[in-house]
A and B are shown apart, each in its own frame.
Chain A
């Protein structure tokens, strides 16, 4: 386990991570991912993160070493697409039992590897560690090593048992497994100046295939994709690529950065999500390849393709304009990544009335204002009842968000369209925008929403939950209006840091009492922002507000 904790430490130290760069040495040690809150509704574990990051490798047998819980609940749950093998979809697990727990599961694991090789003969087997075998001390590294030697086939340990942390950490540990055991272990038949790695792209709904024709046209070869529609051999020789594009930066930044460090492959972070981003990414790919020796004319060809595709893409949006006129959109997504669709949505005539800023930095918020105007609602954390109110006040016709918000949205009678990763439509690239518009159009005009918004006709609308919620909110507001003390208490009770549960009042008090002027000082005094750091932007806002509001610290100092 010592090597695992060392790896985790290393991942936390990732210098390629923008957030990390702003942290102190001590903070970095604590780790970059949000610590799990006992009692909270948590997301997936590290194992799940590792599995979903690597599972899109299509010709590999993914063997989960553990009790049935881990693979039984999750096999083939990924909407990635394969152009070849289907073995990645087959659920392999050692399904360990009580006896294995008592006597150890290593032998069973070894046998399971043997049986996969005998029956399926895949180019490699990935063995995933899970909590139980990790706790009883099964050494999957040793088993994989022995099996590799015995069968002459790569058997790769993926050491990310669930208990080490959340999903995002698992993504990175999966990357480490590739770096340690796969990348650089084989050589390609030939290379060209146009060889590109794409890292952190999973080919969900086959969306990579929507972009591939453009790359093909430009003569750019997807040398290796980690991991969407990837093949083991391609990953093994990926160290010979000329350049890399890093798609989902949170997941596999360590892979891109270390490949740059070890093999001199430059990378950039980009996306094919939205028209502008697609163009930027194509340009950046061309630039990096030219830098690495591709002929200069590549850029001219790239620009030509960009001009053509942009024109086509904008034209495809055109027909939606009259239908979208006056429609208002609420965009609730992970953050910056999906903002590049905003331009396209606006071009189509949709009005953006708000977006989530729970994890946004100050810069992010500035950009939102730039994109959506000063009136854009920045939603920190919206409860279903607030969501309902927003809808009722006709502030939004539809919510675009990830799958997580789906059910809340529906229960709050909010029309909703999934634009995140579990969706079943491909929105990537220039053509993806047309698909997105089509889906938004369908969602906007689906008569089911009308039904959803209408209470049962016999319902006493003065008595249903929506009315009660509205009444309650109004009553609370009215109460606060006449009761300045309560209003002040409510204002001060607003949560600023969710990890450490620090509210506005505590921060204001600290600022006042100690004349604090920086986030770091506040962190020291109140522990706010000392964990995941995503509330930094909010703290900056508080600082700005209190600086503007009064010479309060001075007064206090005078007292």
Chain B
């Protein structure tokens, strides 16, 4: 039955109908030069072998299924964390559409961002006019309080000078002279989205602290007791940032969250469209220079920002996406040490609850093997938590991880007897991971939505932790930081483990003698 208006079928069902199947089969037979199915099967099986893995790992030029995104995505993510700020990407508008859809599909929220829409002539003659017109239009149409400029490759390749362009645009009256237009060069051919986050954040802070590109006096640091907090590029920013604020408040620490995008990615549905919501105020961003210290939750998201801040006389501390008891202990104790505030009983209780939960169900995780991929800091945080639970993070892979990162992961392995047979794979992709899962199988895979293909092909159950998560909703609302965040990660892992047990015992009259209600 073809589609009919009386009873419209969606694509799940429609194309399984006999006439579509027939059509597709004919097409294949007549026009697609089909291979012998046995040969296809042979190749499929061959791709699971160590021999294939060797060839796969010998790849030099080709990246297949990368587990990373580009710099400007991170720049846009950081920029929307400031009050009334519209990210402006100087370059081609197609790239910008990707950042918007990527963020939108993950957070299920609109993602506002404009581009200078460079075309071929701009590529030849330079993008100055696009900058001039772009800033003018953006300012006029969307009434932002700040426009944060980043770049796509196109602008970078031709060498557009953002500082000069913005200056010229201001002279030409695109935006008022005192209007804040921080900028960062964020070429995608360098680093990844975490680098872009770093560059954009540094650009914004530098703008406020170091005299707004020569248009204002540099700020003089007058130390106070506040603490700055930077989350880094984090798919859980909504839940995490709120959890972190709660912890700061519990401890009574005055703080500034830099690039706080927790509200803009979680706007309420109440009849009002919020193009901008929440965010670090521009005043706070400027005053952050006076803080006692800055804490970064993700070292690799702040590799340039932190030294810049340290250069202004603050103490800086960075973590690797802390998850679990020990990592959170370190974070909380750093807060306590820096602020001089005591750790409140409430947090001690939360800690005890997480330990209790881990003891109650740790036996189910203990001894299991996991493969992890994701951003460098997330991998480190998850690997440490798994080791804490007695699991083996057998394969840890980050496409945007470098050699220094790999050494750090190795140090984490070396810190636990459970890390003995674990390996780290910097700069590798998900097709490498595919080979690993076939030749050296694990019990569970932790990764983002793209892991579902690995789950399907290799049968390794996927636990979705990371960015982006497109095919499950609202995970970003639940923190993974703090003791409560650790609890969420624990539960997410356990849920999958129990789902698998159920799945393996649910065939009526065959395996269901173990299909139990108590696990």
- A positions within 8 Å CB-CB of B: 76-77, 79, 81-84, 86, 206, 410-411, 422, 424, 442-443, 445-449, 451-452, 456-459
Contacts and interface: CB of A to CB of B under 8 A. Distances in A.
B516 A446 contact: no
Interface string B340-358: 0001000010011001101
Contacts of A410: 356, 359-360
A223 B108 CA distance: 62
Given A86-B512, A206-B514, A452-B359, 14 more contacts: A77-B518, A86-B509, A206-B513, A410-B359, A442-B390, A443-B363, A447-B387, A447-B389, A447-B390, A448-B359, A448-B388, A451-B355, A456-B343, A458-B333
B329 interface: yes
Contact of B358 (A76, A81, A82, A451): A451
A354 to B, nearest CB: 22
B517 interface: yes
Contact of A79 (B363, B508, B509, B518): B518
A445 B514 contact: no
Contacts of B416: 447
Contact of A452 (B343, B355, B417, B418): B355
Given A86-B512, A447-B387, A447-B418, A458 B343 contact: yes
A84 B510 CA distance: 9
Contact of B367 (A76, A81, A442): A442
Q: Which of B326, B356, B359, B517 has the most CB of A within 10 A?
A: B359
Nearest to A83: B513
B325 interface: yes
Interface in B385-408: 387-390
A451 B513 CA distance: 35
A137 to B, nearest CB: 34
B336 interface: yes
B48 interface: no
A451 B325 contact: yes
B313 interface: no
A76 B513 CA distance: 12
B250 to A, nearest CB: 14
A79 B358 contact: no
Contacts of A459: 348
Contacts of B512: 86
B358 A448 contact: yes
Interface in B461-514: 508-509, 512-514
Interface string B408-442: 00000000111000000000000000000000000
B110 interface: no
Contacts of A86: 508-509, 512
B198 to A, nearest CB: 30
Task: Give the bracket for the number of chain B residues in contact with chain A.
Answer: 35 or more
B390 A445 contact: yes
Contact of B390 (A81, A448, A457): A448
Contact of A457 (B333, B389, B517): B333
B514 A448 contact: no
Main secondary structure of the interface of B (DSSP, over half): helix
Given A447-B388, A448-B359, A449-B359, A79 B329 contact: no
Interface string B4-25: 0000000000000000000000
Nearest to A425: B363
A10 B514 CA distance: 37
A445 B389 CA distance: 11
B166 interface: no
Contacts of B518: 77, 79, 422
B216 to A, nearest CB: 42
B278 interface: no
Contacts of B326: 451
Interface in B333-385: 333, 336, 343, 348, 351-352, 355-356, 358-360, 362-363, 366-367
Contacts of B509: 84, 86
B508 A451 contact: no
Contacts of B367: 442
A472 B332 CA distance: 30
A276 B387 CA distance: 38
A428 to B, nearest CB: 16
A451 B343 contact: no
Nearest to A76: B517
Nearest to B362: A448
Contacts of A422: 518
B336 A458 contact: yes
Contact of B351 (A84, A446, A456): A456
Contacts of B517: 76-77
The 10 A-B pairs of least Cβ separation, nearest first, read: A448-B362, A81-B513, A447-B390, A446-B366, A458-B343, A446-B390, A448-B358, A410-B359, A456-B351, A452-B359
Contacts of B359: 410, 448-449, 451-452
Contacts of B358: 448, 451-452
A86 B509 CA distance: 8
29 contacts: A76-B517, A81-B514, A83-B513, A84-B509, A206-B513, A410-B360, A411-B356, A446-B363, A447-B387, A447-B388, A447-B416, A448-B358, A448-B359, A448-B366, A448-B388, A448-B389, A449-B359, A451-B325, A451-B355, A451-B358, A451-B388, A456-B329, A456-B351, A457-B329, A457-B333, A458-B329, A458-B336, A458-B343, A458-B348
Nearest to A453: B355
A337 to B, nearest CB: 23
Contacts of B329: 456-458
A82 B362 contact: no
A446 B348 contact: no
Nearest to B350: A456
Contacts of A81: 513-514
Contacts of A449: 359
Contacts of A442: 363, 366-367, 390
A92 to B, nearest CB: 16
Contacts of A456: 329, 343, 348, 351-352
B390 A458 contact: no
A459 B389 CA distance: 22
Nearest to B337: A458
Nearest to A411: B356
Nearest to B416: A447
A424 B367 CA distance: 17
A427 to B, nearest CB: 15
A83 B336 CA distance: 58
A410 B387 CA distance: 20
Nearest to B513: A81
Contacts of B387: 447
A424 B325 CA distance: 27
Contacts of A411: 356
A459 B333 CA distance: 11
A458 B335 CA distance: 12
A79 to B, nearest CB: 6
B385 to A, nearest CB: 11
A230 to B, nearest CB: 14
Contacts of A84: 509
Contacts of A451: 325-326, 355, 358-359, 388
Contacts of B355: 448, 451-452
A402 B16 CA distance: 53
A327 B355 CA distance: 23
Contacts of A445: 390, 417
A51 to B, nearest CB: 15
A412 to B, nearest CB: 11
Contacts of B348: 456, 458-459
Among A81, A447, A452, the most chain B Cβ lie within 10 Å of the Cβ of: A447
A442 B365 CA distance: 11
A76 B362 CA distance: 25
A478 to B, nearest CB: 29
A45 B385 CA distance: 43
